[in-house]
Amino acid sequence: MNKKTLNEVNVSGKKVLVRVDFNVPLKDGVITDDNRIQAALPTIKHLVKNKAKIILLSHLSRIKTEEDKSKKSLAPIAIALEKAVGQKVVFVAATRGAELESAINTLKDGEILLLENTRFEDVKNNEVVKAESKNDPDLGKYWASLGDIFVNDAFGTAHRAHASNVGISKNIKESCVGFLVQKELEMLAQGVDKPAHPFVAIIGGAKVSDKIGVIDNLLTKADKIIIGGGMAYTFFAAQGHKIGKSLLEADKIDLAKEYLQKANGKIILPIDSANATEFKDVAPSFSGVDLPDDVMGLDIGPKSIELFQKELLGAKTVAWNGPMGVFEMENFKKGTVAVCESIANLKDAFTLIGGGDSAAAAIQLGFKEKFTHISTGGGASLEYMEGKVLPGVEAIQNK
């Protein structure tokens, strides 16, 4: 990796601004899943141990109105962090100003401070100004002025150019990636850029349009691309099959044809389908790739599961993004579960899940430990798989 990493920076006695991802799910002010807090601990603990003055910045959800602010404070997160890290966390209920500045200036080495939700800067006096989300240059400059070093450890927002990542990086003398971002980048590089072959990619989810970039990029890198989920039906249509009432992106049929031609046999499509007459969790009927007019395909069928399992055998690298069907419905989750299980059970393979629904499915099914890496950032890992530059990483200093 060409970006400076935390181990390469002397943080002792310095004011270190750290962009973390504490965008945790909250229900009535209670954190329902603290995975993201746990994921930030290695970087925070390293900074404590090495006697930095630690200033944490994070967003929480989206802020569109002044009322949103009362429900989206980082105050409960400061309490959870205190427990997780085992030391006091100073919470300042502001994103700028004299109180914040004096709290930072009285921090001792090894102490931790957390600012209020960075996206509070998106709304000022009831007006949506998006200072954080549109990377207002003054805001990035101001936050940068509060510290000596910037550490970006928020992979979940690395695909966005915001004031709290790109803005600070561009205005501070020294910057690096934190341990979480470093690991994500190393894993994605190994899985996508330097894969051991055979490399099998499995792409699913609702729409072709969401995954065009991924298919495009992986066509040049993978040995096979297995396509499932709602997007498979647009490919069926491109092959001239009847798809009944299934999800169809009519304007992507030509593109699907183009990919099938370009792929030269690399694209593997389902060979059967589990269907329902409505978008409902009912016992499925099954068909081949020509569906009756009155049904919609909601999952891959048993023959496709078998085919995909066969295609996965012997893979040395597998990258998976997107479910094989409507896995939220009990009757239509079989394809996703089977694919997840097959990847998890591969021996001697580097297995990568690109966040989002597939990551949630793997964790829910108890396979978390069986994958080489499950990305914490759905959008960011998807953009990485598309071969795009992540602005939050790009803005960090090179080694």
Q: Is 61 annotated as a binding residue?
A: yes
Taking CB under 6 A as the rule, does residue 210 contact ligand AMP?
yes
Site for ligand AMP in 349-378 (CB under 6 A): 356-357
- Edge to edge, the sheet with strand 149-152 lists 89-92, 112-115, 53-57, 15-19, 149-152, 174-177
The single residue among 206, 219, 263, 360 that binds ligand AMP, judged by CB under 6 A, is: 206
Three-state DSSP string of 208-266: HHHHHHHHHHHHCCCCEEEECCCHHHHHHHHCCCCECCCCCCHHHHHHHHHHHHHHCCC
286 is in an annotated binding site: no
Q: Which of 72, 268, 57, 52 is nearest to 152 (CA)?
A: 57
Whether omega before 198 lies within 30 degrees of 0, making that bond cis, reads: yes
**Which listed range, 44-52, 99-107, 199-207, 235-243, lies at the site for ligand AMP (CB under 6 A)?**
199-207
Residues 6+ away with beta carbon under 8 Å from 98: none
CB of 157 to ligand AMP, least distance (A): 18
Query: Using the rule CB under 6 A, is 325 a contact of ligand AMP?
Result: yes
Nearest to 11 by CA among 41, 57, 58, 44: 44
- Per-residue binder mask for ligand AMP (CB under 6 A), 293-312, x = binder: ----xx--------------
Q: Which of 156, 356, 378, 392 is catalytic?
A: 356
Does residue 392 bind ligand AMP (CB under 6 A)?
Answer: no
For tokens 């994958």, the residue is 371
Question: Which among 215, 320, 230 has a CA at the least distance from the CA of 260?
Answer: 215
Give me the residue whose beta carbon is nearest to ligand AMP.
Answer: 205
In whole angstroms, what is the distance from residue 183 CA to residue 380 CA?
14
Residues in contact with ligand AMP, total (CB under 6 A)? 16
191, 322, 354, 391: which one binds ligand AMP (CB under 6 A): 322
Quickly count: other Cβ atoms within 10 Å of residue 65's Cβ: 12
CB 238 to ligand AMP: min, Å = 16
Q: Calculate ∠ Cα 66-33-362, nearest 5°.
A: 125
Q: Which of 4, 36, 221, 252 is catalytic?
A: 36
In terms of CB distance, is 167 or 228 closer to ligand AMP? Answer: 228
Is 348 labelled a binding residue?
no
Note whether 230 binds ligand AMP by CB under 6 A. Answer: yes
Please tell me whether 303 is known to bind a ligand.
Answer: no
Residues marked as binding for ATP? 211, 297, 328, 355-358
Q: Which residues are at the interface with ligand AMP (CB under 6 A)? A: 205-207, 210, 229-230, 247, 297-298, 322-323, 325-326, 328, 356-357
